[in-house]
Amino acid sequence: MKTLTSLLSHRAALIKQARLANLAYAYETLSRFEHRIARARLRGSVTVRHAAPEEERYWASLTANEGAQSVLEEHFSDEDVMELADLLTFLNCSDALEVTFPLEELAERFLTPLRAELAREGVVIDPVDARRDAMR
């Protein structure tokens, strides 16, 4: 049985491990999004907005600034959009997320810095994992 003192003494290490696990999850999930975008040849500027009940926006949104909104809706469910908004909010360390970027630059804009941060923490992205993620 763990004592309170024991748990508190491990707190910093547990917080670091939780952050690394969240970064790994973000990397894997954004890799799947990037693969879907590339496979469907989706292009153009989009804006991701996190839910903001105080602004009467109760669900995250992915809005096409160029091209057809219907194409985005065909490829991304409401749950996909919410997950994307949650991940970008986590990576930007902000609850008030509104970010605009070209879809074709998702990897460069988000995955490249994420990979660098994981590498700084000593995390190795296994090529087998990368290939598996690309297959999803």
**Non-local CB neighbours of 131 within 8 Å, separated by 6+ positions:** none
The span from the CA of 97 to the CA of 103, in Å, is 17
The yes-or-no verdict on residue 63 having pLDDT over 60 is yes
Is the CB of residue 107 less than 8 Å from the CB of residue 34? yes
Query: Which amino acid would we find at residue 61?
Result: S
- What are the pLDDT digits (tens) for 73-106? 999 999 999 999 999 999 887 776 899 999 999 9
Global pTM? 0.82
Split at pLDDT 50, 70, 90, the class of 133 is very low
- What are the pLDDT digits (tens) for 1-11? 678 888 888 88
Q: Beginning with the edge strand found earlier in the chain, give each strand of the sheet holding 45-49 in spatial order.
A: 61-64, 45-49, 98-102
Domain ranges of the chain: 12-135
